Amino acid sequence: MARTHFIFLVLMFSSSSSSSSSPPSSLSLSREQEEDRIQALPGQPKVRFSQFSGYVTVNESHGRSLFYWLTESSSSPHTKPLLLWLNGGPGCSSIAYGASEEIGPFRINSTGSNLYLHNFSWNTEANLLFLESPVGVGFSYTNTSSDLKESGDERTAEENLIFLIKWMSRFPQYQYRDFYIAGESYAGHYVPQLAKKIHEYNKACNKPIINLKGFMVGNPEMDKTNDKLGTITYWWSHAMISDASYNSILKNCNFTAERFTKECDSTIYDAAADFGDIDQYSIYTPKCVPKFIGNKQTHKTLLPKPILDEYDPCTESYAEIYYNRPEVQRAMHANRTAIPYKWTACSDSVFNSWNWRDSDNSMLPVYKELMEAGLRIWVFSGDTDSVIPVTATRFSLSKLNLPVKTRWYPWYSGNQVGGRTEVYEGLTFVTVRGAGHEVPLFKPQSSLILLRSFLAGKELPRS
């Protein structure tokens, strides 16, 4: 309790200038924003929206700073809501995934040299704020190396909140604006935990500047017991493992235990050999195949050259080329400390040193608390993901025992079934047909319909 009280004092002090009757001069704020303005990214097509990127320091004494990228809405940015996107991992970059292959306005070509427009970008509906969190992810950094061995859920949520308050002090036009959070995978922890921090912060402030309206998460980690059981069930029900492997797992694994035994781990490992060489995040699409030219590794698919806005399994490798280019980093005001390692889509060091003792076994109590607070909450699931599959999400949601408001029905994207949905009291569940782990990457048009319905607070279209 004392730690939380201290955090609120720090946050309230850091935001006091923006919530007082005499805010900082617009000149100084304008100068800060202009310093973060992206004039144009290398290889970028002409656009009609503004972009900003840079750093916000979230811990002065340790020198921890988080990197962000704001792409304003392509229409009516002054009235559209603000949406923060977080990727999971833990250790994966929202720039690499959310911005560059899921919901952002640009896609990267196969050589990592140019950008082209994404026809179903979410910035048609909202101002998009991408955050690389926690420190050690992407361009976000710390001057204290021991910080990288101490990352966990609690510090990540605290520093994401500090980031938001300081960022809104830099961009006061977004204070009090309708605000939403979205993310996927391990952001199934980040998103509701940050929403809870914001809710607590708002209750503690006389005049809160973060107008949180709701959040949504895709293929999220929700509850360790149900996630594990739901994953094994998905493997068997989708013919990824044999009956013998499935029965052996059920015999040797206790899904309610905090940790699996070595015998259980060994059984699961043996069962995974049944998969074959597939992309477990998207079980029906081709995986990216490395191709070596001399000593240099490139990537290719087993299909003809992808058509724009169609799924390309090698897109992550294009991001790692593009964001390591010095001219791109200069344009984005990134890598100001000249980190001695390459920018990567996911940080192995962050994941491998994650403090799993500071990782909630279940997020369901947080969902209950935030539903009672009246937040709009949507959970969506691509139904071809075997890593955090739709069965895991359904098992977890069933534990909430929510009354059904609108019974299960198919929703439509154009003239095709986009998925299915069921609306409960306090929460909406959505499946996206044919989508893998990164739902907007696989089904961009359906995902944009999902976003529009979520922001409008309306049920998904029935036809």
Neighbours of 463 (CB within 10 A): 6
- In 311-402, alpha helices (H): 315-322, 326-331, 348-352, 364-372, 390-398
Neighbours of 360 (CB within 10 A): 17
Could you confirm whether 362 is annotated as catalytic? no
Neighbours of 291 (CB within 10 A): 11
Q: Is 336 exposed, middle or buried (0-12, 13-18, 19+ CB in 10 A)?
A: middle
Catalytic residue among 169, 185, 282, 453: 185
Strand ranges in 24-63 using DSSP code E only, listed in sequence order: 51-59
| Vertex 411: Cα angle to 394 and 396 (nearest 5) | 10
Could you confirm whether 62 is annotated as catalytic? no
How far is the CA of 22 from the CAs of 162, 204, 206, 321, 434, in angstroms?
A: 21, 21, 16, 45, 52
Could you confirm whether 437 is annotated as catalytic? yes
**445 close to 428: Cβ distance less than 8 angstroms:** no
CA distance 259 to 255: 8
| Vertex 398: Cα angle to 243 and 91 (nearest 5) | 80
Phi/psi at 452 (nearest 5 deg)?
-60, -40
Which of 131, 135, 132, 130 shows the shortest CA–CA distance to 147?
135
Which of 221, 145, 143, 210 shows the shortest CA–CA distance to 179?
210
Tokens of residue 306, six digits: 């992808």
Catalytic residue among 437, 446, 447, 453: 437
Q: Which residues of 24-46 are buried (b: 16+ CB within 10 A; e: fewer)?
A: eeeeebeeebeebebeebbbbee
- For residue 45, the 8-state DSSP code is P
CA distance 162 to 59: 9
DSSP three-state, residue 3: helix
**Residues catalogued as catalytic:** 185, 385, 437
